[in-house]
Amino acid sequence: MISHKGQPLLQPETDSGEPGPPREVWGSKLGFVLAAVGSAVGLGNMWRFPYIAADSGGAAFVVLYILLLLFIGLPVLLAELAIGRSTRLSPIGALRASGGKRWAPLGMLFVATGFLILAYYSVIAGWTVRYAIDALVTGFPADPGARFGEIASGGGAVFFHLLFVGITALIVMGGVKKGIERAAVILMPTLILILLGIAIWAATLDGCREGYAFYLRPSVDDLLNPSILARAAGQAFFSLSLGMGAMLTYASYLSRREDINGEACVIAGADFGIAFVAGLAIFPIIAALSLFGDVGESTIGALFIALPTAFEAMGGVGRAVGILFLVALVVGALTSAISLLEVVTSSVMDELKASRRKAALLTGGAIALIGILPALSLGALDIMDHLAGDVFLVFGALLLALFVGWRMKGATDELSVGSRPIFVRLLPLWRFLLRFVIPPVLLIVFFTSVMAALKALGIMAD
Ligand code: PFF
């Protein structure tokens, strides 16, 4: 089949017809967008965002978060997409190709961060798989607090972590089009439908108003606290999968015919929308049973203790909704884990010239092994989350903004290719943000995250 410009519409299996070495490509634009949204939407949206928002200023936090997404998250996302699509390489090679040898270590930091995040992310995902199976077989536990204590670490946690990494590796082994894209095209619409359905059902519950109020009551005072800015920025990066090359790697499988600016807006919008709706689904359920006390001091409390208690108390309907909610969580975690593993796998493929199969086995195996540590110790999980999930991500994003803002040539041209005129007009603003606004903000966020991590780990006094 030939398009009106004389270009073949059907792509060869492993290449986009672009100059450079052959590389796998996405089967369709929608496939790429769904895979990228799948990377972004995960435990961070359904677990961390609603809790942090309720805990850190409600609606005022949501407004701050949207501003951070627009002026920091979106530009960094575009920077990753520009590097990935222009070089068509995984992070280490991409940074080497666009910035010279001195920038390759930033790619290595990305790979190390992805490796570490997946090692503990899959432990948490394993808990959700276990809760889902428990709920199906025996119903929600009568005492979720005690049950959580039993399953959070130990042999069972190790088993479910290994199972989860194994499934992730199998999908990554399938390749970009037949593994990652196919999974995203099936799983993401499922997740969105489930979550919207639960949010609509939750709106009919008695007490939904108190739930919304708990979630969104604005507290502007909270926003004056710099640690909340750091928390919001850290959450924005984690949620958009930025600062560790996941979006860069996914963009390396894109052809240059698409408007990546428009796609970036869709990805960021969907990521925020799903996180926001998750809060609308969760809090009315907790409010209906007045379980705010169980939300407690931690995100874990909100998800693994208060919600199961509510589902159990609501009888048959509660159980069905609870199982659906857990399915959505597992799906979100899986599509995110796939992107984390793809960063590491594609780097091994490109750097060591390994086959996809071998690379996925090797990297999946190594992550499975390292993840045993957080599966055996909640303390280790906490350290890894603070280090990789907060500190490394922000540091990676800071260096990336400096690189694309000041060093990389042709980034603006890359984003202009295939772009709508409105976006082309905004590109000077994008460059300005990357050069002058994002680095100082991220520097503050970085120091605040380091302090918070040191305090949380007991290395520094409050
Ligand atoms: N964005 C995912 C979430 O919100 O759960 C987590 C994540 C996935 C972070 C992929 C980083 C990443 F590269």
Distance between first and last Cα of the chain? 66
| For range 192-197, the mean pLDDT | 97
Domain membership of residue 53 (yes or no) is yes
Residue 388 in contact with residue 371, Cβ under 8 Å?
no
Whole-number Å distance, alpha carbon 331 to ligand 1 midpoint, is: 13
| pLDDT per residue as tens digits for the range 426-436 | 999 999 999 99
The pLDDT assigned to 177 comes to 96
**CA 240 to ligand 1: nearest atom:** 1
- Please report the pLDDT score of residue 301 as a whole number: 61
Phi and psi dihedrals of 16, rounded to 5? -95, 0
CATH number at residue 199: 1.10.4160
Q: Is the pLDDT of residue 1 over 80?
A: no
Helices (H), 203-259: 208-216, 220-223, 226-239, 246-251
Radius of gyration of the chain (CA): 21
* Residues 362, 367, 373, 375, Cα dihedral to 10°: -120
Say what the pLDDT of residue 56 is: 87
The mean per-residue pLDDT over the stretch 254-269 comes to: 93
pLDDT of the residue at 45: 93
Structural domain tally of the chain?
1
Please choose from 241, 274, 391 the residue to mutate so as to test ligand 1's pocket, defined by most ligand atoms within 8 A of CB: 241
Distance, CA of 340 to CA of 347 (rounded, Å): 11
How far apart are the C-alpha atoms of 229 and 232, rounded to whole Å? Answer: 5
How confident is residue 299, by pLDDT bands cut at 50, 70 and 90?
low
CA of 42 from ligand 1 middle (Å) equals: 6
Q: Is the Cβ–Cβ distance between 344 and 115 less than 8 Å? A: yes
Longest dimension (CA), the chain: 67
Token pair listed for 309: 């208690």
211/205 Cα distance (integer angstroms): 10
Q: Which residues contact 392 (CB under 8 A, 6 or more apart)?
A: 109, 112, 113, 116, 243, 244
* Least confident stretch, 99-103, 105-109, 276-280, 390-394: 390-394
What is the average pLDDT value for the chain, to the nearest integer? 91
Q: Which ligand 1 atom minimizes the distance to the CA of 275?
A: 4
Cα atoms in the 13 Å half-sphere on the side-chain side of 282: 33
pLDDT at position 291, please? 79
Please work out whether the CB of residue 238 comes within 6 Å of at least one atom of ligand 1.
Answer: yes
439 touches ligand 1 (CB under 6 Å): no
**Cα separation values, 259 from 78, 172, 190, 229, Å:** 11, 26, 26, 31
Does the pLDDT value for residue 388 go beyond 80?
yes
Atom of ligand 1 nearest to the CA of 47: 5
Range of the domain at 336: 30-456
Whether 8 shows a pLDDT value over 50: the answer reads: no
**Domain for residue 276, yes or no?**
yes
Q: Please write the tens of the pLDDT for every residue from 46-84.
A: 988 998 898 888 999 999 999 999 999 999 999 999 999
Assigned domain for 367 exists:
yes
pLDDT at 256: 79
The percent of residues in the chain predicted with pLDDT above 90, rounded, is 73
pLDDT tens digit sequence for 213-233: 989 999 888 777 878 888 898
Q: Does residue 54 lie in a domain region? A: yes
Q: Is 249 in the pocket of ligand 1 (CB under 6 A)?
A: no
Residue nearest to ligand 1 atom 7, measured at CA: 241
Closest Cα partner for 274 from 40, 58, 432, 97?
A: 40
In the reported structure, the alpha carbon of residue 199 is separated from the centroid of ligand 1 by a whole-number distance in angstroms of: 23
* pLDDT > 70: percent of the chain: 93
Task: Tell me what pLDDT residue 215 has.
Answer: 92
Q: Is residue 184 part of a domain?
A: yes
Q: Which of 317, 442, 434, 424 is nearest to 75 (CA)?
A: 434
Cβ atoms 291, 145 nearer than 8 A: no
Nearest CA residue ID for atom 9, ligand 1 = 241
Q: Return d(Cα 53, Cα 62) in angstroms, integer.
A: 7
Q: What's the CA gap between 132 and 194, in Å, rounded?
A: 15
Tell me the pLDDT tens digit for each residue of 142-165: 888 888 889 999 999 999 999 999
| 288 CA to centre of ligand 1 in angstroms | 30
Q: Is 384 in the pocket of ligand 1 (CB under 6 A)?
A: no
Q: Give the per-residue pLDDT at 88.
A: 95
Closest residue by CA, ligand 1 atom 12: 241
pLDDT of residue 15: 52
Can you give the length of the chain in residues? Answer: 462
Q: Indicate if ligand 1 lies below 6 Å from the C-beta of 248.
A: no
Which two tokens mark 252?
Answer: 């390396």
In a domain, 4, yes or no: no
Is residue 461 assigned to a domain? no
Tens digits of residue pLDDT in 100-122: 999 999 999 999 999 999 999 99
CA of 289 to the centre of ligand 1 (A): 31
Q: Is the pLDDT of residue 24 over 80?
A: yes
Give bridge partners of residue 8 from the DSSP assignment: 2
The DSSP string of 346-404 is HHHHHHH---HHHHHHHHHHHHHHHTHHHHH-HHHHHHHIIIIIIIIHHHHHHHHHHII
Handedness of CA 7, 13, 17, 18 (dihedral sign): positive
Nearest-angstrom CA–CA distance, 242 and 271: 12
Question: Is 12 part of a structural domain of the chain?
Answer: no
**What is the predicted pLDDT for the residue at 321?**
95
Cα separation, 386 vs 448, in Å, equals 12
Which phi-psi region, left, alpha or beta, contains residue 410 (left: φ > 0; alpha: ψ -120 to 50)? left
Q: Is the CB of 117 under 6 A from ligand 1?
A: yes
Sole residue written with tokens 């919304």: 212
Does any ligand 1 atom lie closer than 6 A to the CB of residue 246? yes
